[in-house]
Amino acid sequence: MYEFLSGQGVQTTTDVAVHSAANNFSSVLANKPPSATATVQESPGTRDFTGDNSIYWKVQFGDGVLGWVSGVFLTPSSGPPGSSFTCNHYVATNGGTGAGTSADPWDLQYAFNGAGNRVLPGDTVCIKGGTYTGNKTVTVSGQQGKLVVFRQDPGGHAILDYPLHGAASPSGLNVQGSYLAFWGFELTNSDQIRSCTCTSGFRPDILYNVGSHNRYIALIVHDGGVGLYNEASASDVEITGSIWYNNGYQGSDRGHGHGVYVRSNTGSIKVRDNIAFNQFGYGLHGFNQQTDALKGVLYDGNVAFNNGSLASTSSPNILLGGTDIGGQQDTVRNNMTYFSPAISEVNTNGIAGLQVGYSTTVNVDVRIVNNYAIGGNPALDIHDWQTALVSGNIAYSPAKVLRLNDSPSGYTWTSNTYYRDAAAPAWSYQNNSGTDWQTWKQNATPLGSSDVVNPSAPTTATVFVRPVTVDGQRTGQGNIVVYNWGNATQVPVDLSPVLNSGDAYSIWNAQDPWGVSSSPQTGTYNGGSVNLTITTPPPPTPNGTPSRPPVATGLGFQVFIVRKQ
């Protein structure tokens, strides 16, 4: 099913009933034929947990009928508001307060302030190539259905650089406005100091989001403190298709600084199809404490690898959990994690690959579905949920594959797969040191009855292709994740989730996104699979000196970005 933004056009795919409420049992206000057009009134949609379990959308049809329709029967009739790439205004490194045209561009901060009310809801502001130095604050806002979009000018390479360190340093880009999109440019901190005798706050966040209804799309964010921090008060925020690496610093206690750090008091926070690697801290860090919550967070299709590897000790690639207030209405699905075998301290120090729940804080409800967790000790770590669906996950580790620090009550547990010798002490229950598979099943009865244990890992490549979407719409960009079990130099990859036949494309290694060490693979897509050459560039060099150098993933694991030209 699609996901829609408020103000987006939709149409029906068949005869549908328009309901008075967001469930299948409510009264029917009207019936609509196929291809009836409407406009979405509220986003996100509302799931009908008591009926058909689909997501219902409040829509208004052209004849004035206002009601709820299941998303099963809706498809887009227009792209997401604000996604047009027509440049209404321009900014440049030498810009001022003039006309805002390509020939007379604005200053970036002037545009972020709304350019004297000349930036209107629905406008796209194109950022010309060059380096923009110094912290900025975004106060302009769009409105429902009309995002203000800040996007890299076609053919340019725009870099926002905030070369700062120290506890009093402000965030690089402080986003106070709402109904905004930031699309396709680079943000960094070129400051070279990467360690302190402190335990917090040394290197500022690059992106600090306070506003609601904002979108962060296809950005490259590196070498900050935290790549992006989302305040708990912000809602309806989507972070998608971006690359996060080398963020953080070494404190006196541990590595600090994550790729993406979210809190959420009300939801909906969507973190989708991001690539996060080589932070000092976690790749994705959903964490709550004190009065902040972690409600309505979606992790979907992200790939996170070798996080914590720049610090003195590693960190989990993905965490969703915290202290004081438990998670609620959260979903962790289709994510992929990996630790290089060379990072052996992951196993000796018990660093999880994918961790859902934290400490002994009792969370409310979560869905953990179809994740692919490779490496870590354990590969998959689940803590303390009142209600959880754990289904279709795949885990491998030379150490533990699974830890369940909870009782089986409230869990629905089906069809998970583990690559591990069933006799190995690779399954932990309620924080024991680990048992064989049969003993774990006995301890955790009735869980595990439909799970599968394979004694060894695959010998051929496992490939995932994920389109980068914004509010359910394809953007012409996608991620290719290759678990290259057999160390092949080429693997077949079906690009149809991202491209249409006849599309020209380029494929870039995510660890070399500008093609410095490896050339992109280009061509015209004719349907089916293409043979992808597995390039193995070195990981990007951090600004300054980390506690440990980044580790190359080699032939065994690589991530690529495919773009429609």
What is the per-residue pLDDT for 78? 47
* Distance separating the N- and C-terminal Cα atoms of the chain: 26
* Apex 309 CA angle, 304 and 315, nearest 5: 65
Type of residue at 361: T
- pTM score of the predicted model: 0.86
Query: Strands 275-277, 255-256: parallel, antiparallel or unpaired by DSSP?
Result: unpaired
Token output for 177: 């406005």
Give the tens place of pLDDT for each residue, 280-324: 999 999 988 778 889 999 999 999 999 999 999 999 999 999 887
Spatial CB neighbours of 377, under 8 Å, sequence gap ≥ 6: 346, 347, 348, 349, 350, 351, 352, 397, 399, 400
List the chain pLDDT tens, one digit each, 565 residues: 566 766 667 888 888 999 999 988 899 999 999 878 888 887 667 877 667 777 888 998 878 899 999 988 887 764 444 444 689 999 999 999 999 999 999 999 999 999 999 999 999 999 999 999 999 999 999 999 899 999 999 888 999 999 999 876 789 999 999 999 999 999 999 999 999 999 888 999 999 999 999 999 999 999 999 999 999 999 999 999 999 999 999 999 999 999 999 999 998 999 999 999 999 999 999 988 778 889 999 999 999 999 999 999 999 999 999 887 788 999 999 999 999 999 989 998 999 999 999 877 788 999 999 999 999 999 999 999 999 999 999 999 999 999 999 999 999 999 999 999 999 999 999 988 899 999 999 999 999 999 999 999 999 999 999 999 887 788 899 999 999 999 999 999 999 999 999 999 999 999 999 888 888 999 999 999 999 999 999 999 999 999 999 999 999 999 999 999 8
What's residue 2's pLDDT? 62
460 close to 506: Cβ distance less than 8 angstroms: no
SS (H, E, C) 463-500: EEEEEEEECCEEEEEEEEEEECCCCCCEEEEECCCCCC
CA dihedral defined by 309, 218, 511, 258, rounded to 10 degrees?
A: -10
Pick the CATH number of 9-76 from 3.30.360.10, 2.30.30.40, 3.40.50.720, 3.30.1370.100: 2.30.30.40
Task: Please report, for the chain, the start and end positions of each structural domain, with discontinuous segments joined by +.
Answer: 9-76, 464-564
Reported CATH class of domain 464-564: mainly beta
Answer whether 79's CB lies under 8 Å from 63's CB: no
